[in-house]
Amino acid sequence: MAKIRTRFAPSPTGYMHIGNLRTALYAYLIAKKDDGDFILRVEDTDQGRLVEGAVDIIYETLKQCDLNHDEGPDVGGDYGPYVQSERMKEGIYSKYAHKLVELGKAHYCFCKEEDLEKQREQQGDSFYFVDPCKLLSKEEIEKKLADKEPYTIRLNVEPEGETSFDDEVYGRITVENKTLDEMVLLKSDGFPTYNFANVIDDHLMEISDVVRGNEYLSSTPKYNLIYQAFGWDIPRYIHCPPVMKDEHQKLSKRNGDASFQDLVAKGYLPEAILNYIALLGWAPSEDREIYSLSELAKAFNVKRIGTTGAIFDIEKLKWMNGVYLRNMDMDKYYELVKPYIYETVDKKYDYKLIANAIHDRVNILSEIKDMVSFFNQIEDYDIDIYNNKKAKTDPELAKVILPEVLNTLSSIEDWNNDNIFMALASKAQELGYKNITMMYPMQVALSGRSVAPGGATAIGEILGKDETLKRISNAIDRLN
RNA sequence: GGCCAGUUGGUGAAACGGUUAACACAUCGCCCUCUCAAGGCGACAUUCACGGGUUCGAAUCCCGUACUGGUCACCA
């Protein structure tokens, strides 16, 4: 079997959408599963829609995701992406388009855009373009060319018969040729259309598996007509179902939906995002959901790509991101979390202890800020929060408990979590309280919150003896 | 409107003619517990868009209907 070669062929018209990224991921996985090549090709044949910096975003995103391409023009020792506007300078597309005219498989079209629009308006829904230029005589064509009349090159389509192909995901698709229009191959500005450049480059780059969104499903027969006109082999097609925002709409930047960059900025890990979106439209054969990129490549199977749009569920991504955070090597976790902690917390506090306290609680990095802000400073709170059903505490009882806590703690020499806990636990026993009855008021006194990470004693350890005693005395003052 | 495709719980989904219709997220309980989490356990689709058919047997095969999406550009 020939080497598997896939490509990701985005057009640089904005940000990297989750749907795009998933297509890139699938293309990458399909190649890597069989030790194939993954190629990045930027399709910028529409000069009007170019967006500054878009290529960089695509490039950086793939890099962050570790979706590295295997070849491309040399860029300072690194592989850059193939760029169609660069390739166009070599005249590749124009050459092939004209060759098709020579072969009698395409023709010059001198129609003006306004004419087409007028025709379209008049015919409305039933518009079907029949190109008058197809009837032009050789002499007329020669003359128009000599007069430098602007032209496009259109594919010839015979309206008889039907064209079909087998998609790896959707199965056999058949359409009648009369529903296919004679699409433009080369635009009047000399640029190829996306469709045409796509076919030419896929062939030239020996792409074996074309992976793309299912919006191309209905135009694929037209692509095949081009392959056939040249007598080229048709690649395998893998059309992917869309990633949806809700039942009706796809995810898109236009709607202000989160892009990959947005998610990263919110504290989602690239690995988790990749893992999650892999599961949107594809299901592993084993009962498992957490996969590293290389594990995905091993487990991936085109046959298990689904055909229906999958709704992007941020809640599940959140959960999965939390799993990644919890399973991560602790040193890596500490480094990752450190800046988020020190964003609000004074450096005199040990970030590792804080990181431990929030370890099982963080799902996305951006949650950390609020979670730990009380270490630095207690926000204003209502003494009502001393009311706790489980601890059976209320402000009145706290007034009694807190001085006991203060007393117990002040005699601790070696200040650490274990010692604090043991001292308090034995005091609780002595006084006939459950542990929680001592701990909960302490937690409120130290954090000003009914819910705080780590537990009262861990918070105490982090704050240090002085600050702990100070906060408890303050709390007592507040209650009186 | 023509053409192409899709339709399993709130969400992602499994199942490839015979299962109590997996599993995961979310939700709700319970347990654990120094709060919250995390973790453990359990509940959660009499039903697979609907209507016919084929079959001893259908979520799975066939036909029709409905709904949803895609596509019909010198956009990609």
Q: Could you tell me the distance in Å between the CA of residue A367 and the C1' of nucleotide B68?
A: 37
Q: What tens digit of pLDDT does each residue of A196-209 get?
A: 999 999 999 999 99
Quick check: A472 and A446 in contact, CB under 8 A?
A: yes
Mean pLDDT of A38-64: 86
Distance in angstroms, CA of A295 to C1' of B76? 32
Determine the distance between A17 (CA) and B27 (C1') in angstroms: 29
Query: Which of the two residues, A170 and A253, has the higher pLDDT score?
Result: A170
Tell me, in Å, how far CA of A24 is from C1' of B19? 37
Nearest-nucleotide field for A388 (CA, C1'): B35
Measured CA to C1', the nucleotide nearest A117 is: B73
Query: ipTM score of the complex?
Result: 0.94
Which CA-bearing residue is nearest the C1' of B23? A287
The β-bridge partners of A37 are A5
Catalytic residue among A144, A253, A338, A352: A253
pTM score: 0.93
pLDDT score for A412: 94
Exposure string (b/e) for A148-175, b if CB count within 10 Å is 16 or more? eeebbbbbbbeeeeebebebbbbeebeb
A113-165 pLDDT per residue, tens: 777 777 766 665 555 566 778 888 888 888 888 888 899 999 998 888 888 89
Q: Give residue A291's pLDDT.
A: 97
Q: Which residues does A471 contact at the CB level (< 8 Å), separation at least 6?
A: A378, A445, A446, A463
Return the pLDDT at A352.
96
Nearest residue by alpha-carbon distance to C1' of B6: A308
pLDDT tens figures, A254-269? 777 779 999 999 999 9
Q: What is the 3-state secondary structure (H, E, C) of A151-171?
A: CEEEECCCCCCEEEEEECCCE
Q: Is A187 a catalytic residue?
A: no
Residue A234 has a pLDDT of 95
pLDDT value of residue A348: 95
Protein A167 CA to nucleic acid B68 C1', in Å?
A: 21
Give the CB-side neighbour count of residue A173, counting CA atoms within 13 A.
19
Instruction: Tell me which nucleotides of strand B come within 7 A of a protein CB.
Output: 1-8, 10-15, 22-26, 33-39, 68-76
**Token code pair at residue A68:** 């590295």
Average pLDDT on A44-69 reads: 86
- Asked whether residue A50 carries a pLDDT value surpassing 60, the answer given is yes
* The predicted structure's pLDDT at residue A122: 66
Contact A471, A403 (CB under 8 A): no
